Structure 1
Amino acid sequence: MVTDTLIQVLFLLLSLGMFLVIHNVPRKALTKLRLRGRENVQAKRHFVQGAQLLARARSSRNKNTCVSLAKDAIDQADKALLLDPRDAAAHILKALSLDLQGHKSSALRSLDVALSPPAVKTISDRERGDALFKRAELQIAVNRRRRRVDSALSDLLESVKLNPGNSKAFCLLGQCYEKKEMRLEAKQAYEEAIRIQPSSSAAREGLDRSASNYNGADTKQ
């Protein structure tokens, strides 16, 4: 009798526990999703504000104003990253703002984070291509040693695959090939840059230079 009663009580408690779990877990999950959604919305607001500040900084002709606006853009990017540290776009915004201030090494580190998993999964292929181009540009600016040129070259080859319409990426690719004395490849890269943007003076100058070097090498042979 006592055993039967005990079993019934245990069964009742187990049923009650399952009932609470079934009804409580979804509420917790829903609450978590709501909080996450609010954080994402707020993070995007900070990102948009930062992007607007960066645009104003770039268009400003006053150096002090430019630096000040870039600093404010970094603050907004940091606030966005505090809410969503895996948002590659916010890391890129911070990198571009740091570069505008002249902090190229710090900008390079931010781009490294943006292009690393899991952050890189949050941007499109085109955006990743543009970020790779910017990282290559910074790698060359920070250190012109061969290792940096090789690393930049790798980024640029991937960049032009992801975004084949970026004339500046092809132009920088040509410069990297020139540094490695790959004359034919440099010439082809400059030709592609001009095909995309015929008005590019940098690409035309590079093409003239690489064509001259290529012809000179053929003459020596």
Structure 2
Amino acid sequence: MAPEVVLQLAFLILTLSIFFVMIKLPKQALTKLRAKNRANLQSSRHFVQGSHLLVRARSIPNRQQSLIHAKNALIEAEKALSLSPKDPAPHILKALALDLMDRKNSALRSLDLALSIPCVKSLSEKERGDALVKRAELKMAVNRKRRIDSAMEDLVESVRLLSDGGSGTESKGLCLLGQCYEWKGMREMAREAFEKALRLEPESIAAREGLDRLAS
């Protein structure tokens, strides 16, 4: 076969290959996108349903009924995670449901996942601040002595993220931070934290009680 023919044949094969790739790739990408969108939609549905169940669990005074709703919220959170494992929202929902069920160590692990890379990248500053306050609260409840420094790191960061937001979570974070300072004997810093919390939320019982303890 003449070299010119071989060259033309090779060029034709290359052209056809490029044409095939140009046609094939968009179809594959579209198929993946459609599958991803379906998974995201289903995950969102489970998350919304779980959130409704969590609200019910918190609002019902009957402990047994509250636990039933919390368990169902946990099931919905796990379904959402099976579809969107990198979405931090179902991890947080799962943590809150577990906390209501008094499974604080498991709740803490779920929050660790929500606040780890790559999940945390999807959270806004306020969402991250709220999650840090909750994680610090769990750390203090699970093992105060061993986790107090870690809890303080979370709370300092949460106050920075939530500053000027005027949210109840910011006030709660400051009260928890004040307690940490109080436990470590840093009374002046504890007083400052409680006073700031009281300015943000004048009705805060935790802030008033903290200031009363420091005054005694």
Where on the TM-score scale, by shorter chain, does this alignment land: which range?
Answer: over 0.9
- 1:159 is matched with 158
The superposition leaves residues 126-156 of structure 1 with CA deviations (integer Å, 9 ceiling, x where unpaired) of 01001000000000100121x3111111110
% same residue? 58
**Is the radius of gyration larger for structure 1 or structure 2?**
1
Please give the alpha-carbon distance, in whole angstroms, between the structure 2 residues aligned to 1:35 and 1:150: 44
The superposition leaves residues 14-40 of structure 1 with CA deviations (integer Å, 9 ceiling, x where unpaired) of 211111011111111121112111111
Give me the CA root mean square deviation.
1.2
Contact 1:81 1:91 (8 Å CA) reproduced: yes
Pairwise CA distance, 1:2:
4.1
- 1:194 is matched with 198
Give unmatched runs, 5+ long, in structure 1. 213-221
Please give the alpha-carbon distance, in whole angstroms, between the structure 2 residues aligned to 1:9 and 1:144: 75
Q: How many residues align?
A: 211
- 2:172 is matched with 168
Please give the alpha-carbon distance, in whole angstroms, between the structure 2 residues aligned to 1:204 and 1:4: 92
- 1:47 is matched with 47
- 2:109 is matched with 109
Pairwise CA distance, 1:11:
2.2
Pairwise CA distance, 1:60:
0.9
**TM (normalized to structure 2)?**
0.94
Please give the alpha-carbon distance, in whole angstroms, between the structure 1 residues aligned to 2:178 and 2:40: 40
Contact 1:137 1:152 (8 Å CA) reproduced: yes
Q: How does 1:51-130 map to 2 (within 5 A)?
A: 51-130=51-130
- 1:218 is matched with none
Contact 1:171 1:190 (8 Å CA) reproduced: yes
- 1:185 is matched with 189
Q: How does 1:6-21 map to 2 (within 5 A)?
A: 6-21=6-21
- 1:215 is matched with none
Please give the alpha-carbon distance, in whole angstroms, between the structure 1 residues aligned to 2:116 and 2:172: 23
Letter of the structure 2 residue corresponding to residue 150 of structure 1: D
Residue aligned with 2:116, SS: coil
Contact 1:187 1:211 (8 Å CA) reproduced: no
Q: How does 1:124-163 map to 2 (within 5 A)?
A: 124-145=124-145, 147-163=146-162
Letter of the structure 1 residue corresponding to residue 104 of structure 2: K
